[in-house]
Amino acid sequence: MDFTLTPEQESFRGEVRAWLSKQMRQDWVARLSRGSDIPRPEAYDLLRRWQRQMYEAGFVGLTWPKEAGGRGLTFMEEMILQQEMALAKAPPVLNILAIGMAGPTIIAYGTDEQKKRYPPKMLSCEEIWCQGYSEPNAGSDLASLQTRAVKDGDAYVINGQKVWTSLAHIADYMMLLARTDPSAPKHKGITYFLLDMKSPGVTVKPLKQMTGDAEFNEVYFDNVRVPASQILGGLDNGWAVGLTTLMYERLALGFGLQVRLRIALDGLVDMARATKKNGIPVTQDPVMRQKLAQLWIDTEVFKYTGARAITKLLKGELPGPEASAGKMMWVEGHQRVQELAMEIQGAFSQLTHGSAWAVADGLWQHTFLRSRANSIEGGTTEIQRNIIGERVLGLPKG
Amino acid sequence: MNFGFNDEQELLRSTARKFFENECGSDTVRRLMGTPEGISPDLWTKLAEQGWLGLVYPEAYDGMGLGLVDLVVLMEEMGRAVVPGPYFSAVLLGGLAILEAGGEAQKKEWLPKIAAGDRRVALAWMEPSAQLGPAGVTLSAVEKGGRYTLSGTKLFVHDAHTADALVVAARTRPGAGADGVSLFLLPKGTKGLEVTLLPTMDQTRKLCEVSLSDVSVGADALLGAAGAGWAPLARVLDRATVALCAEMCGGAQKVLDMTVEYAKIRQAFGRPIGSYQGVKHRAADMLVDVENSKSITYYAAWALDEDAAEAPLAVSMAKAYVSDAYRRVAAAGIQLHGGIGFTWEHDLHLYFKRAKGSEFTFGDATHHRERVAQLVNL
């Protein structure tokens, strides 16, 4: 057991830290330090430029192989990068669905042509990706998806609908799961397509969320033609390919989530210090101290459970279903941070952006509302518990 | 970075698991917990033969010279088997107090004998106020003419009734701070020293009341310098706390294992109960509790071994987390077993009671959360 870094890793940390201290935009630091860890729609342009800057400095796709445009480093460097970004309160990478999911899946399953064509533009943020998995009648039960892909010459014709599609309104490509063989059992007969979002017949309709923002969308396919060369990982093999993506999703999230939780917690502690109740700062109230300390502990525990998972990865083991536990922990921790933020604000928690009385210009109200989605997006907490129960503990399926 | 155990540690784990399965199965635990001693000379000798009684002592005192990360492995296995007896008190409390506070002669005299299983030393530090921290030490030690007179009551003393000697924390200068706390080493049978065994919920762990009335000892009974006993005592308590957390992790893992096995075979409404989400989801929550408990405990052990600046913080984070987690896991284990889990015959209550006792040993979650709040300057 050893938590120390090698001299190379220390030097990498120094490289990241020096770069961030020079490049970080101070308006972002101020904003994120107040707890907003979620990019809002109006921030997309800024985030696109930020990822481009990070890419040019060589800080995107650290673990990707060099031939895919990455640096061929280990998960340790990725973890160091994420930690430093948290310390600097740096904005997240915008093209996260590409970097975290689509890219690794293409690198694992793609043809030489696909591997050459797509990953580099993911890293540079020239092409943004979204994930076409969920449908109105296929969420947790993803395998019952109904979007159809019918062969027509050397192309497939897509008809159907996706929903809750984050970034679809600015995306250039979609990881699309569609049914190619309706007569096969539901987990078979699904194919993974790389869909150009500018194809005729694709319609994106923003969905307004309970926050008032429209981060995600409905996507309609009306006779959309996709060349057969855009299939990833073989015809009717989409379930296996799609699961690989989800595995990487939880892995990528695992690194990022720990950082985001830390940022949110630091913001919460700052707010608690600055807030007085009954004449004393909230941080001196014994009940509040207990709650804040518990969140502090949970955030650290999350970090070390993550470190154990990374140790497994470094030993060459694949990311396993344990990642589901990490996702669940983050959800629980983050929702409690947001709940506590409201509790600390008390009556003021009712006031939002636009009121001079609102705390931090209503930022916390937004992140509080947004946090309700955490236990639904990326696999509901109920599904994560099923995965842990069945695939880690070996309990029988229901 | 490597957050895993090495081959020697994995070997220690498999050796220990097999050892306790053979030497300390449920029948043995139940037999021993029913005796006042809570241990048999035979089992104690076998533990000594394995080298485990001196695992964390330097080789100069006939120990194995291993660290807390190694100890964590052994403690997890002991917790898994709810091993009864004075390992905790003799090796980790009394023994470590001598190692941390004692002079060279005291260490040479006692530690090899503890490691060999020939002597046991208990640590008497808490009092009826149950207050943790230096303010809780009020038992007076009045100096006159080079001798000390000790009077007062110690409570929650592990295994004092079977110990050959007691380390007693006393106050040689009045006050509530760390300054003025002294440690004395008193042999069994010292005049004025009375030990009473107390009935405990967790029968595998024996607690005593120790009363001292005008116990008169020479300055040679001091462990270390007079008035400077709190710092070494705090180091002992941090180490023992992490060892306890590891023991709790092992117990929690065993409860989870028993529960999962049961949920796979027990049928209700024509299906294994583990197929129902009401059961499956609670089992998943148990797993998260167990895995997180291990993560923070391992980290705390490493931080102590490395003498890292944040070691005390890591210790308190671990005890706060694991205290709550083991309690939740043990309760869920009983619930998911149903009626059978509530019987005396089933082993679950041994773990449930151990979880409860451990929760309040060296401070509960509330105490350690406040310590975390202080250490991170909330």
- Tens of pLDDT, residues B105-161: 999 999 999 999 999 999 999 999 999 999 999 999 999 999 999 999 999 999 999
Question: How high is the pLDDT of residue A253?
Answer: 60
Q: How confident is the model at residue B162 (pLDDT cuts 50, 70, 90)?
A: very high
- Domain span including residue A144: 129-236
Domain shared by B72 and B139, yes or no: no
Please list, in sequence order, all residues whose beta carbon lies within 8 angstroms of the beta carbon of residue B206, skipping any fewer than 6 positions away.
Answer: B36, B37, B38, B86, B158, B159, B161, B162, B197, B200
Residues A99 and A140 both lie in one domain: no
Contact at CB, A395 and B283, closer than 8 angstroms: yes
Give me the domain span that covers residue B70: 7-119
d(CA A38, CA A36): 6
Catalytic residue annotation of A: 249
What pairs with residue A190 in β-bridges?
A179
B255/B288 Cα distance (integer angstroms): 13
User: Does residue A213 or residue B285 have the better pLDDT?
Assistant: B285
Q: Which of A293, A384, A393 sits opposite B369 (nearest CB)?
A: A293
Q: What is the largest CA-CA distance in chain B?
A: 80
Task: Tell me, yes or no, whether A358 and A379 share the same domain.
Answer: yes
Q: Which of A65-74, A160-169, A250-259, A279-288 has the lowest mean pLDDT?
A: A250-259
Of A62, A81, A109, the position where a domain reaches its end is A109
- Has residue B310 got a pLDDT over 60? yes
Q: Which residue of A has its CA nearest to B253?
A: A393
Q: What is the ipTM of this complex?
A: 0.95
Closest chain A CA to residue B321: A297
Of A100 and A89, the structure prediction assigns the larger pLDDT to: A100
Structure tokens belonging to residue A311: 């140790």
| Domain annotation covers residue B169 | yes
Residue A252 above 80 pLDDT? no
What are the tens digits of pLDDT across the range A285-310?
999 999 999 999 999 999 888 888 87
Q: Quick one: pLDDT band at residue B1, thresholds 50, 70, 90?
A: confident
Q: What is the mean pLDDT of residues B37-52?
A: 98
Do A370 and A301 fall within a single domain?
Answer: yes
Q: Which residues of B are less than 8 Å from A292 in CB distance? A: 373, 378
A311 band by pLDDT with thresholds 50, 70 and 90? confident
Residues A228 and A174 in one domain: yes
The better pLDDT of the pair B67, A26 is held by: B67
B320 to chain A nearest CA, in Å?
A: 8
* Beta bridge mates, B272: B267
Same domain, B222 and B332: no
Do residues B371 and B237 both lie within one domain? yes
User: Which has the closest alpha carbon to A260: A312, A314, A331?
Assistant: A331
Indicate the residue type of A327.
Answer: K
Residues B256, B364, single domain; the answer is yes
> Has residue A328 got a pLDDT over 60?
yes
Mean pLDDT of A46-50: 87
d(C-alpha A392, C-alpha A386), whole Å: 9
Examine the domain organization and report whether A206 and A295 are in the same domain. no
Q: What is the pLDDT of residue A35?
A: 45
- Report the percentage of chain B scoring pLDDT > 70: 100
Measure the CA–CA gap between A318 and A248, rounded to whole angstroms.
10
Q: Mean per-residue pLDDT for A351-377?
A: 92
Specify which residues A156 forms β-bridges with. Answer: A151, A226
Question: Do residues A91 and A204 both lie within one domain?
Answer: no
Q: Is residue A28 part of a domain?
A: yes
Same domain, B366 and B343: yes
Segment among A40-44, A100-104, A380-384, B255-259 with least mean pLDDT: A40-44
Q: Determine whether the interchain pair A385/B277 forms a contact, defined as Cβ–Cβ distance below 8 Å.
A: yes
pLDDT in tens, B55-64: 999 999 999 9
Distance from C-alpha of B82 to C-alpha of B350, rounded to nearest angstrom: 7
A381 plus A276 within the same structural domain? yes
Q: C-alpha distances in angstroms, B64 versus B96, B153, B301, B303?
A: 14, 35, 17, 20
Which CATH number belongs to the domain containing residue A66 in this structure? 1.10.540.10
- Domain with residue A232: its CATH number is 2.40.110.10
3-state class (DSSP) for residue B308: coil
Are B189 and B195 spatial neighbours (Cβ–Cβ below 8 Å)? no
CB-CB under 8 Å, A5 with B288:
no
Whether B114 and B128 share a structural domain: no
**Together in a domain, A330 and A363:** yes
The pLDDT score that the predictor gives to residue A4 is 83
**B55 φ/ψ angles, rounded to the nearest 5 degrees:** -50, -45
Taking the C-alpha atoms of residue B34 and residue B94, their distance in angstroms, rounded to an integer, is 24
Considering the domain boundaries, does residue A116 fall inside one? Answer: no
Residue A190: helix, strand or coil by DSSP? strand
Report pLDDT for A213.
82
Closest CA to B241 of B300, B285, B184, B303: B300
Query: Measured on CA atoms in the order B225, B227, B232, B237, is the torsion positive or negative?
Result: positive
Question: To 10 degrees, the CA torsion angle through B351, B352, B354, B355?
Answer: 110
Tell me, what CATH number does B261's domain have?
1.20.140.10
**Using only C-alpha atoms, what is the Rg of chain A?**
22
On whether the CB atoms of residues A285 and A319 are closer than 8 A, the answer is no
In this structure, are residues A199 and A224 in contact, taking their beta carbons and an 8 Å threshold?
yes
B73-116, pLDDT tens digit by residue? Answer: 999 999 999 999 999 999 999 999 999 999 999 999 999 999 99
Residue of B nearest to A289 (CA): B373
Token pair recorded at residue A384: 């994560």
Asked if B81 and B165 sit in the same domain, the reply is no
Chain A residues near residue B301 by CB distance under 8 angstroms? 1
| pLDDT above 80 for A30 | no
Average pLDDT of the segment spanning A85-103: 87
Q: Which of B263, B264, B370 sits opposite A293 (nearest CB)?
A: B370
- Percent with pLDDT over 70 in chain A: 93
Average pLDDT over residues B225-230: 97
- Which is more confidently placed, A94 or B59? B59
Domain count, chain B: 3
Nearest Cβ partner of A395 from B5, B264, B366? B264
What pLDDT does A5 receive? 86
Q: Is B292 on the interface with A (CB under 8 A)?
A: yes
| pLDDT of A37 | 47
| Same domain flag for A296 and A175 | no
Give percent of chain B above pLDDT 90.
99
CA distance A3 to chain B (A): 5
pLDDT at A229: 97
User: Cβ-count burial of B122 within 10 angstroms (0-12 exposed, 13-18 middle, 19+ buried)?
Assistant: buried
Name which of B249, B375, B243 is nearest B313 in CA terms: B375
Domain count, chain A: 3
**Span A98-123, pLDDT tens digits:** 998 899 999 999 999 999 999 999 99
What is the identity of the amino acid at A48? Answer: R
Neighbouring CB atoms inside 10 A of B367's CB total: 17
Report if residue B2 sits inside a domain.
no
Residues of chain B with Cβ-Cβ distance to A290 below 8 Å are 366, 369-370, 373
- Cβ pair A294:B320 closer than 8 A: yes
Q: Which residues, other chains included, contact B249 with Cβ-Cβ below 8 Å and sequence gap of 6+?
A: B76, B79, B290, B293, B294, B297, B322, B326
pLDDT for B214 beyond 70: yes
pTM of the model: 0.93
Shared-domain flag, residues A278 and A192? no
* CATH number for position B188: 2.40.110.10
Q: Is the dihedral of CA A255, B10, B62, B195 positive or negative?
A: positive
pLDDT digits (tens, 9 = 90+) for B313-337: 999 999 999 999 999 999 999 999 9
Q: Which of A125-129, A323-327, B94-98 is predicted with the least confidence, judged by mean pLDDT?
A: A323-327
Do residues A225 and A315 both lie within one domain? no
- Output the six-digit token pair for A13: 């940390």
Report whether pLDDT(A13) > 90: yes
* Listed residues A109, A138, A168: the one ending a domain: A109
